[in-house]
Chains A and B, each alone.
Chain A
């Protein structure tokens, strides 16, 4: 069975500060991991994905994530927060690309001016 734990339902950072959103997964097979962002009243937009290639994955809007098997983690980072980054972020896991996604409960990111 797969599961995803996102630590911190709410995270606040100052504009220009480092963004760190945490995700830990549980999977009985090598996982495929994804980060999605959801803006208010919208669907999900893919930020980045890990599919057993490079462990450091770069995505859109300056975000990146590092797959650490020993820690079963896939934390999302961005060096400098921008006001437009305020949104809900979801980590998700699947057995293979295109298979059903199991999502975490989400982290709401607030940017302080």
Chain B
């Protein structure tokens, strides 16, 4: 069972440019969330997509936008890049989960848990 995948792995851009990051969710998942993790910090929630619509949004400017496709994959777009946008961008998927969940039985709770991809490292010069 493939986990969450993200592309590209690394990306270098210059200030003012635009970037698109891609995410494919875990098989059976229908919800995708995006997080920004600056160096030495915890991840910060950007937004979440479900049924091709933005469901929740964190405190990020409109330069950050996204899209979800019918196959549940998602893109994160950032316009007019700033130096401060340099970070690890993490995608997480959740929702209906078909398959084994090693923590489901142990925790006694729902399997509707966010599973993270390896991230895309964006450097803005």
Contact = CB atoms under 8 A, between A and B. Distances in A.
A80 B4 CA distance: 31
B42 A53 contact: no
A32 to B, nearest CB: 8
A100 B107 contact: no
A46 B112 CA distance: 12
Interface residues of A, number: 32
Interface stretch (B14-22, B68-76, B77-85, B113-121): B113-121
Interface residues of B, number: 34
B107 A90 contact: no
A43 B109 contact: no
A27 interface: no
A43 B102 contact: no
B106 A36 contact: no
B111 to A, nearest CB: 8
A98 interface: yes
A49 B102 CA distance: 11
Contacts of B40: 106
A102 B48 CA distance: 13
**Max chain B Cβ within 10 angstroms of own Cβ: one of A52, A98, A106:** A98
Nearest to B119: A43
Interface of A: 32, 34, 36, 42-46, 48-54, 57-60, 90, 92, 96-106
